[in-house]
Structure formats: structure tokens, C-alpha cells
Structure 1
């Protein structure tokens, strides 16, 4: 993607200082999602590395990963798999606990969401420390998926999340980077 387009995508993301707590700058993609051109360019860029290849499913992490992942799945003619917070899926699930900054959380997936060997791309809006994405990768692998890659609109490289996924042999694709938290 050319530098001008990347700059336009970055400009379409709202930065909110001191949210949700002092010292954090929240990167709000709702402004990107609300801009038809920016949304289209972001989805096209997320799809690009996989165009023409075999991707069986796109998995999206709740909640913004649903929006982006659904659009990516549509463009790739792939199925979409939601990875949700515990207790939100109606059928038989497999869950995984993961560490948060303060405490733990759990996410789950339907046990039949993928077939063994399905090639899956994981999508979310942002990668920070990588804890949630790492749990999602492990959950997908637990039910037999081959995680082909993980894609994010935003990378906060200082927090090490992309490197954490690469250490799991998961290629990571991001569109824009922001410094700090």
C-alpha cells in the first residue's frame, strides 16, 4: 500500500488521550469504519496478502474483529468464525483462559467452527501486548485450525504483541503503527 493511503488510514483513526485511564491513548477505529473510503481501503489491504490463496475461514475477535473479519471473509469468499467472550455462544464450545493486565478472562469458540486443517486468518482491530490474540491462536489450533496469519489495522509495536505472535510461527500483517500505549 502506498504511503499516502497508509497516512490517510492513520488519519481516519481517532486518538482519545487518557482513555480508559490516564496515560493511555485509545485508538478508536469507529471513525475509520464510518468513512466508506477508509473502511474499503482498510479491508482491501487486509485481504491483499491472501487474495487468490485458499483461506477456509476468517476468525474475528469480539467485537471490532467481527466487523473487520466479516468484511475480510466476504472479500475472500471464506466463512466467518466469531471468537467471543465466555457465555455468549449458544452451541457446544471450547474455551481458553488468558491473562489481562489485571486478572484473567476467557474466550470461546464453537467446537465445530472449523474442520481439522482449515486454513484460518485471524482478524482484529489492534494488536497491543498480544495476549488476546495469542489466546485466539491457541484456541483455533486447539480445534484443529491451521492459523495462516493474523491481521490487524493497528499495531502498537512498543507493547510487543506482533512479536509475540510471530514467536508462535504466526505471520502478522498490520496496516498502521502508533507509538506508545
Structure 2
């Protein structure tokens, strides 16, 4: 059976976002100019999926969350509308990312220590890079140990914008 992946677009201050859904659950959120990443990761996951452009196919709870976020309000994540697939370790890292408050950031080492695995810095960085739902799971809040902005699938300019947006509008949330 072929998996149908529906893709819709969401306009944001950091560019057009691509939202991929399967059975009315978000499986991937990425920047439109990085859609090849989305296709690569989800094709690995679903084995020869059928991609279909379908406006407004993303769950309403997801688009409402994004609208609120870009308006400066953090709401609880609509977990029931998100379908994450990854190893147990990746799931732990992604859950750990959601524990970093808006307006703050952590180093890969600090995140590894928080997860109780201080030697797993590189594995944490890799799991962070494979986060399939950017912005919702805030992988942009992880920076280098020296405080520098490091790797972000959407590009460092977007990462800087997101961190600045959160520092100005969402601190302490």
C-alpha cells in the first residue's frame, strides 16, 4: 500500500513552510527551500510515498499553533496532531528540546547532560539535525558550546531570527 503524503504551505516571517501530513497528522515541517530534505527523510520512512500538493491539508491545530507562535504566543504543542518516528534516543532528544524554554538556548553538551548521557554530544547533535518538525520542536534553541550559532537545516539566518523572535516576544514562556 502506498502512503499518501499531502503537502500544504504556511506563510511565515522566515519564509514559506512546507507541512507534510499523513492521515491528518503532521509528519514533517520544513522550509520550502529545503524541501529536498523533507522528501529524503520521509521517503526513507514511508518507502516510495506518493506526494501530493494539497492546500490546507495540515491539521488546524498545527497551523493555529504556528500562527500564535509567530504572533508571539507559545501554546502547548498539539501532540495528538503530530506523528514522530525515530529511534528511542531520537525521541528522547526531541522531547528534551521541548524542555528548553522560549527565549533560552542550550549547548549540545548541556542537552546531552540533561538527558543523562553527557558523552552523547555528537549523537544529540545528529538527532537534533534529524528533527522532522522544525520550529514546533525547537531544535533552533541548541547552539555551540562557545555560544555560536551552529548548524540549522533552515540556515543560520533563520535560526538567528527565531532565537531573536523568542527573546523579544516569548521570554519566560
TM-score by length of structure 1 reads 0.30
Structure 1 or 2: more strand by fraction: 1
TM-score by length of structure 2 reads 0.31
Which structure exhibits the higher relative contact order, with contacts defined as CA atoms closer than 8 Å and separated by 6 or more residues?
A: 2
